[in-house]
Structure 1
Amino acid sequence: MMTPNKRKNDTLASICAVIENQERFLLTSHARPDGDAIGSQLAMAFALKQLNKQVRIINCDPTPDLYRTFPGVQDIEISATAKGNFDALVVMECSNLSRPGLQELQGNYTINIDHHLGNENYGDINWIDETAAACGEMVFDLIRFLGITITHDIATHLYLATLTDTGSFHYGNITARTFEMCRQLVEAGVNPSSIARKIFDSGTRGRLKLVGAILNKMDLEASDRLAVIYLNDEIMNDTGGSEDDLEGLVNIPLSAEVVQAVAFFKDFKGQPLRVSLRSKGDIDVRAIAVTYGGGGHANAAGFTSDVPIEAVRKTLISKITATLDNNSPDS
């Protein structure tokens, strides 16, 4: 029987063979990119450029303001189509080829790199590592396998990816492997406190007012174990906030000891309802998101829905409450 390490090394060898034998690469990730998507793409791009490869990054949505000062972000193209000529497509953090939101992705030689449960294995090479703390952790392994030097720019983006996708080292799948990688990134010149300040202490006035408005309208359900927060056009307009200000807001109610799970409803006119879920410990919100066609991690998941918010709210609160009850020490 093939061991996990043997399977991983065989997959990495296959990816490296493609990289060595091809010249033109297109990198992409999911719509509304987060820190892991941006960091993983740019770390991979800097690594490929060390090998004198031609690299383009195309995303369907702009990079959030929070990350625009990081190196290489200005080179990311925004388009609805994966246009141009390239030898291989590298898709990161996407369970299927619809997640990037780009047209004309099908039919290309595809390397699929993901750390989420439920990946559809749509690539010619599929590297799925559900034990990784972030996609950036996988990119680090690939870069080391390629024998590429971890430069300051590469290290910066790998640390960005890991710091954000673990919720500042709050979520599951953080292992000795994660901290060994971070140790090497610091050795390569990363300043952890500087990056943390850029991400967590550089918010706008609109974000500050947005936090106040959202918490003011928060509902506590299931004996205060579930926090339900809302955002709509009215709140956004009243506070002067923007989509870029939403990063990390869903985690704020978890700072209360009693709160074990959070449901964040984003209900904007002309758009599907978006729901983000977060939790602590053994509360598996991914299993709940899957019932609505979504996915993610056990402690960080989400989904979209065309059903009116009140209907989704009722069933979702019921499902999360049942999960909380089943994980209660008294159950």
Structure 2
Amino acid sequence: MIKIAANTSGLIHDLIARASKITTVSHTHPDGDAIGSSVAMVCWLRSLGKDAVCAFPDSIGANLEFIFPEEIRLSRLIYDETPKETSERLGDSDLIICLDFNAFNRTEGMADALASSKAAKILIDHHLNPDGSAFDVCVSETGVSSASELAYYVLMTMPETGGDAGRLPAESANALMAGMTTDTNNFANSTYPSTLQMASELLQAGVDRDAIVAEINWCYGENRLRLIGCALKDLMSITPDGVSYIVLDAGTLKKYGVMEGDTEGLVNMPLAIKGVRMSIMLKQDNGYFRVSVRSKKGTSANTLAREYFNGGGHELAAGGKLFFPKDIATPEEAPAYIEKVTREYFANEA
């Protein structure tokens, strides 16, 4: 089970007690875990009377808006939309709580403002290789499902909760359950005894998990289903090494009116094929592809993403970017690049 050291818990409590203006920050292209852990923390801080807001590097997927209580949604800051206001908030903050990323560069455009802020900084994260020197307090643990799970156990050590999930604001409890559920793909991956304990305690506290799962799974537009059908039927390729890959170029994204969040979970689907041990999805952006890598046990998604896609992450789930023209001359070269580097990767693994 997860144990937060008493001295670490005490430092976090003291930093929060001394601060009046607190900002949470999460990584670029925020997923359910980044949002859930951030929203939970801000709701809890506001229950203590703090001036607390969430700051995100870029836009929130429509499928994840349900995690935000209305007052948190209205006060949140999106750096891409309001860079000056967001930078000023970071500069004026007494405390910044960083959730679900291991280094400032994972916030992209916000990184300089984050690094230059004189605020104390707390890290709560579950990724490999945290930049501990950048933070005043570092709570980093890879053997947990999510940042939301780790944030839950941090909150359980606070005197105000006394280890009782029922003392969390309802909005915090709901957000933590949503964040953990999305990051485990509804308990399909990275699920530990501590994850199930967290879920059980939140259910006892009154969280409606059925409602959360319905929001996660059953509230997409028709275009998402048609995109998935096209991707699996016409765009998916499988290499002799057991690597599935799907490239979503700009034309495909436009054809299906793809919005942030519409491709959620697509990269996991090819892993249902018995002979596939790794799945890669590329999604075209401005000057690069966003890369998602998933793998089965025994094959490292993290290593592939780190060595060939300017990224990294977890052993079985990682991400990165493929730039053009730096990495490939044109977007059309992406499939050939994937086949080349995965062939090289598995040859080196042999």
Please tell me whether residue 114 in structure 1 is matched to residue 125 in structure 2. yes
Q: Is the 8 A contact 1:30 1:93 kept in 2?
A: yes
- The aligned counterpart of 1:33 is 30
User: C-alpha separation between the residues in 2 aligned to 1:197 and 1:322?
Assistant: 43
Q: Is the 8 A contact 1:286 1:296 kept in 2?
A: yes
Deviation, 1:261, is: 1.3
Please tell me whether residue 315 in structure 1 is matched to residue 340 in structure 2. yes
Aligned counterpart for 1:43 among listed residues 29, 40, 44: 40
What pairs up with 1:284-295 in 2 under 5 angstroms?
284-292=300-308, 293-295=310-312
| Structure 1 vs Structure 2 CA RMSD | 1.9
Aligned counterpart for 1:303 among listed residues 320, 329, 336: 320
User: C-alpha separation between the residues in 2 aligned to 1:91 and 1:25?
Assistant: 11
More helix by share: 2
Please tell me whether residue 168 in structure 1 is matched to residue 186 in structure 2. yes
- The aligned counterpart of 1:329 is none
Deviation, 1:136, is: 0.3
User: C-alpha separation between the residues in 2 aligned to 1:111 and 1:82?
Assistant: 18
User: C-alpha separation between the residues in 2 aligned to 1:57 and 1:22?
Assistant: 15
Q: Alpha carbons of 1:246 and 1:74: their partners in 2 closer, same or farther (altered >3 Å)?
A: farther
User: C-alpha separation between the residues in 2 aligned to 1:67 and 1:243?
Assistant: 10
Q: Which stretch of the first structure deviates more once superposed, 214-223 or 128-137?
A: 214-223
- The aligned counterpart of 2:206 is 189
Find the residue that maps to 1:104 and give its secondary structure: helix
Q: Is the 8 A contact 2:62 2:260 kept in 1?
A: no
User: C-alpha separation between the residues in 1 aligned to 2:344 and 2:76?
Assistant: 39
Q: Is the 8 A contact 2:19 2:94 kept in 1?
A: yes
Please tell me whether residue 99 in structure 1 is matched to residue 106 in structure 2. yes
Please tell me whether residue 272 in structure 1 is matched to residue 285 in structure 2. no
Q: Which stretch of the first structure deviates more once superposed, 79-88 or 131-140?
A: 79-88
Q: Is the 8 A contact 1:150 1:185 kept in 2?
A: no
- The aligned counterpart of 2:146 is 134
Q: Which stretch of the first structure deviates more once superposed, 254-263 or 207-216?
A: 254-263
CA deviation map 1:257-280 (0-9, x unaligned): 332210111234x32222110012
Q: With structure 2 as the length reference, what TM-score do the two structures score?
A: 0.85
User: C-alpha separation between the residues in 2 aligned to 1:240 and 1:132?
Assistant: 35
User: C-alpha separation between the residues in 1 aligned to 2:283 and 2:296?
Assistant: 21
Q: Alpha carbons of 1:257 and 1:26: their partners in 2 closer, same or farther (altered >3 Å)?
A: same
User: C-alpha separation between the residues in 2 aligned to 1:51 and 1:275?
Assistant: 39
- The aligned counterpart of 1:124 is 136
User: C-alpha separation between the residues in 2 aligned to 1:106 and 1:310?
Assistant: 37
Deviation, 1:191, is: 1.8
Find the residue that maps to 1:246 and give its secondary structure: coil
Find the residue that maps to 2:43 and give its secondary structure: helix
Q: Is the 8 A contact 2:61 2:259 kept in 1?
A: no
Please tell me whether residue 218 in structure 1 is matched to residue 215 in structure 2. no
User: C-alpha separation between the residues in 2 aligned to 1:166 and 1:294?
Assistant: 20
Aligned counterpart for 1:232 among listed residues 211, 233, 249: 249
User: C-alpha separation between the residues in 2 aligned to 1:10 and 1:318?
Assistant: 47
Q: Alpha carbons of 1:318 and 1:27: their partners in 2 closer, same or farther (altered >3 Å)?
A: same
Deviation, 1:322, is: 4.0
Q: Is the 8 A contact 1:58 1:82 kept in 2?
A: no
The letter for the 2-side match of 1:88 is L
Q: Which stretch of the first structure deviates more once superposed, 54-63 or 80-89?
A: 80-89
Aligned counterpart for 2:215 among listed residues 198, 218, 221: 198
Find the residue that maps to 1:130 and give its secondary structure: coil
User: C-alpha separation between the residues in 1 aligned to 2:336 and 2:94?
Assistant: 46
Q: Is the 8 A contact 1:213 1:235 kept in 2?
A: no
Aligned counterpart for 1:10 among listed residues 4, 7, 10: 7
User: C-alpha separation between the residues in 2 aligned to 1:9 and 1:257?
Assistant: 45
- The aligned counterpart of 1:178 is 195
Please tell me whether residue 250 in structure 1 is matched to residue 261 in structure 2. no
User: C-alpha separation between the residues in 1 aligned to 2:5 and 2:337?
Assistant: 39
Taking every aligned residue pair, what percent have the same amino acid on both sides? Answer: 26
The letter for the 2-side match of 1:234 is G
Q: Which stretch of the first structure deviates more once superposed, 103-112 or 33-42?
A: 103-112
Q: With structure 1 as the length reference, what TM-score do the two structures score?
A: 0.90
User: C-alpha separation between the residues in 2 aligned to 1:144 and 1:9?
Assistant: 12
Find the residue that maps to 2:157 and give its secondary structure: helix
User: C-alpha separation between the residues in 1 aligned to 2:141 and 2:42?
Assistant: 20
Find the residue that maps to 2:292 and give its secondary structure: strand
